[in-house]
Amino acid sequence: MTNVHQFDVVVVGAGGAGLMAGLYASRGAKTAVISKLYPTRSHTGAAQGGISAAFGNTEEDHPEWHTYDSVKGSDYLGDQDAIEFMCNEAIDAVLELEHMGLPFDRTPEGRILQRNFGGHTNNITGKPVRRACHAADRTGHMILQTLYQQCLKNKVNFFDEYQALDLLLVNGKAAGVVAVELATGELHTFHAKAVIFATGGHGRIFEVTSNAYAYTGDGAAIVFRRGLPLEDMEFFQFHPTGIYKLGILITEGVRGEGGVLINGKGERFMPKYAPHVKDLASRDVVSRAIYTEIREGRGVNGQNYVYLDARPDSVMKYAAADGRTNSDGSPYTITAEELLKKLPDIVDFNRVYLGIDPMTQMMPIQPTAHYTMGGIPTNKFGEVVIDEKNTVYPGLYAAGECACVSIHGANRLGTNSLLDLVVFGKHAGLRAAEYANQADFANLPDDPTAEARAQFDGLRNGSGKENAFDISREMKKIMFDDVGIYRNEKGMKSAIEKIHEWQERFKHVRISDTGRIFNTELLNAWELGNMLEVSEVIAECALNRTESRGGHSREDFPNRDDVNWLKHTLALKKNGKIEISYKPVIITKYQPKERVY
Amino acid sequence: MQVTLKVFRYNPEVDKKGHYETYQLDVEETERILDLLELVKGHHDGTLSFRRSCAHGICGSDAMRINGRNMLACKTLVRDVGDKITVEPLLGLKIIKDLIVDMEPFFDNYKKILPYFINESPLPADGKERLQSPEQRARFDETTKCILCAACTTSCPSFWGSDDYLGPAALVTAHRFIFDSRDESASQRLKIISETSGLARCHTAYNCTMACPRDIHITKAIGELKLATLTGKVD
């Protein structure tokens, strides 16, 4: 057998979670990080607004408030023990990033500067609290750079541009990963005692998305095909403010700095939907509000968009109306120069893609598919758990967006994703190294690359009647329209039928590139297979859940139903069919109540 | 609108040398060059190969030459370049396939300048952050924006003409750490970039600054590094 590598721990994915896992695992065990991209290309780098920690650097704040806000934000579907764990770890996690050199913006006293973000509140007054630590509007970029740099410093082994294709499970234990080296087309087997998936999300199944091309659900699809469950896949977050049509993210930090949403009639509409925190309600609430405005004919020029207004005069006008103050109690003011300094990339994106200047013009925005709340079920140590009793699967770990701890439940609060990947990436890395040091290597299967080869052969030898690009386009449109922000039985049933049709058509795809070197056509087609796989799971789970909660909004079941649905969904593939079971939500301090912002 | 897209093609498994293919496309003027490449790949020729990921100018995957200038394909719109568009791989790095070049020498240069925060002193007694004033933070703000796309380095005549010049991108990262008040290895890095393959190879052509999709004033940053090597000061 050629191309077999042996490591104690193999991490798949080199975004924030993968790098953090790699950094921690490599301190205690021989570790490799494999990634289909160069690490600095990972999607963590696109995160903009901040990472939350209840420092209280400019005003009172507490980890308990952060915990409650996240529980409420999750629409009570998040596991409260894990949320509390994350929010308590947040302060040390952000300090660790600072100690690694991350260039956070600073207060006049030299401490980490914090800004407002949706759903983060002072639990006594109910007003927004400054909890999001940031580096301008490129916080994710700085986290990604800093962690990659620290991995280089610590001599972590990287296998850049290696696409993971399969997970090897032998006798109920993780045994390794199969990957293709893009530069040569050769298959490699990574024999490991512990495998950590940190493969990100799958927003590319939707037509309008803020997500990178790389976000095709590879990790979730691989695990699912290997007979392990996925949790809460019906919950997908639509971020309220994507650039119209393009979906490019406009950070919630714009509203954190005082920007407001304006409909086609020139009205600020969020006070109708969230009387207390208005434009800083949680994302599911704001996205639905925008859609409701559009549906009721108050989009701009009858189109599917509204405006985000961050012009300094508007910001100050609405801040005065809201009684917003600086931390010293003085009225909130801001200049174009200050906004430009706080949000340089947002200004840049608007100029490049729309030809507008957000200091003098309003930004046309629409909700954009943004974040995968569901994923590979884990406990708070990053260990993959496979049933309603949370039985740990030996040697298998997941962290970051591909995992479902569940921290985010039915709706993630802004800034909690960066926190998630730092906290749980670290713990997955620690646990995996600890496990690897007392475990033996499982024997590899006789032919470890068989399944990966079979999948590639299928794409090389299809009848050629179908084109992957066309299937992909149809999928994105239908998933966005029928399994998107608003869902109903009729739309989802029809989407599921179509998904089955696409899966059939997919079997007839034949790629035209017969080469080995950087065969990106083969990889893109393989990724489409993953997207079809996760689309089916999402649609089936969404059809099954007959209530509305967080990011899952059923027109035919508009209310949350705690009696029947305060539980996690587990989807499993059995004999080619999706079977759904449930596991309880862990509730410690906070009993579910009505969610008002 | 109708555009003519001319793309450099090279398949190492078939071709002895590169050639150009031309595609006639019906597109919107607001589409990205990356959208055009995706369209060609999806409907005209699936073998066309290029790197891409975020599609909005933040991951640095798709730097290439567009009408002769280094740009990100995802951050350049049709209306920016007109209806006759030529797309070619970056110069100065080995072409692997079509628009994909060998990035290893680029990252090797990056790794030479100790591209990581170094501070071995004890943490503050309260265990909290190392203090840094907004002014100290602003001192290196611009060079933290680098996305390592290589547009600058591969636009530099000195890089084309040399086997071992560190190149502007590595120097930008050196600047990011050297001017960070919290970092303790400025002198070590200044020594590295003072060697013959470093600052001395910069002849102030300004190509790097023109090419940077993040609007970093690279020539200015390199100038500050040159001054620092002369004065030994990094304030």
What are B2-49's pLDDT values in tens digits?
999 999 999 999 999 999 999 999 999 999 999 999 999 999 999 999
Q: Do A98 and B123 touch (CB under 8 A)?
A: no
ipTM of the shown complex? 0.98
pLDDT value of residue A328: 83
Distances (CA, A) of A585 to A190, A383, A424, A582: 35, 17, 19, 9
Starting at the edge strand found earlier in the chain, the sheet holding A260-262 runs A236-243, A363-372, A306-309, A260-262
Nearest CA in chain A to B35: A246
Contacts of A41 in chain B (CB under 8 A): 51, 53-54, 59-61
Secondary structure percentages of chain B, helix, strand, coil, to 5: 35, 15, 50
A345 contact B CB<8A: yes
Residue type, B119: N
Q: Do A520 and B50 touch (CB under 8 A)?
A: yes
Q: What is the mean pLDDT of residues B133-154?
A: 98
pLDDT value of residue A510: 96
Strand partners, B152: none
Nearest CA in chain A to B139: A103
User: How many Cα atoms within 13 Å fall on the side-chain side of residue A571?
Assistant: 31
Task: Please give the structure tokens belonging to residue A243.
Answer: 């650039």
pLDDT value of residue A1: 53
Distance CA(A38)–CA(B62), nearest Å, equals: 12
Task: Please give the structure tokens belonging to residue A457.
Answer: 């052969």
Q: Do A352 and B75 touch (CB under 8 A)?
A: yes
Residue to substitute from B59, B182, B217, interface A, most A β-carbons within 10 A: B59
Contact yes or no for A77/A565 (Cβ under 8 A):
no
pTM for this model (two decimals): 0.97
A494 contact B CB<8A: no
* A334: number of Cβ within 10 Å: 16
A106 contact B CB<8A: yes
User: How many Cα atoms within 13 Å fall on the side-chain side of residue A256?
Assistant: 30
User: How many Cα atoms within 13 Å fall on the side-chain side of residue B68?
Assistant: 1
Residue to substitute from A19, A38, A206, interface B, most B β-carbons within 10 A: A38
A149 contact B CB<8A: yes
Quote the minimal CA–CA distance from B157 to chain A in Å.
26
**Torsion-angle region of residue A20: left (phi > 0), alpha (psi -120 to 50) or beta?**
alpha
Quote the minimal CA–CA distance from A133 to chain B in Å.
12
Q: Do B107 and A43 touch (CB under 8 A)?
A: no
Q: Do A517 and B59 touch (CB under 8 A)?
A: no
Nearest CA in chain A to B122: A99
- Where does A439-570 have alpha helices with state H? 450-460, 468-482, 489-506, 520-544, 562-565
Quote the minimal CA–CA distance from B160 to chain A in Å.
23
Q: Do A40 and B141 touch (CB under 8 A)?
A: no
A588 contact B CB<8A: no
Cis geometry, peptide bond prior to residue A406 (ω within 30 degrees of 0): yes
Strand partners, A179: A164, A188
Would you call A412 a catalytic residue per the annotation? no
Nearest CA in chain B to A44: B59
Contact yes or no for A270/A286 (Cβ under 8 A):
yes
Q: Do A100 and B215 touch (CB under 8 A)?
A: no
Contacts of A520 in chain B (CB under 8 A): 41, 49-50
Catalytic residue among A138, A283, A545, A549: A283
Listed as ranges, residues in chain A with pLDDT below 50 are none
Distances (CA, A) of A512 to A164, A259, A563: 22, 48, 53
Residue A456's nearest CA partner among A499, A519, A535 is A519
Distance CA(A96)–CA(A336), nearest Å, equals: 33
Residue type, B24: Q
pLDDT value of residue B163: 78
Q: Which residues are within 8 A (CB) of A133 and not within 5 positions of it... i.e. 6 or more apart? A: A50, A51, A52, A53, A55, A94, A104, A112, A113, A114, A139
Task: Please give the structure tokens belonging to residue A128.
Answer: 């927004």
Q: Do A101 and B11 touch (CB under 8 A)?
A: no
Q: What is the pLDDT of residues B91-125, one digit of tens each?
A: 999 999 999 999 999 999 999 999 999 999 999 99
Angle of helix A520-544 relative to helix A218-225, nearest 10 degrees, comes to 70
Task: Please give the structure tokens belonging to residue A474.
Answer: 């149809």
Contact yes or no for A94/A55 (Cβ under 8 A):
yes
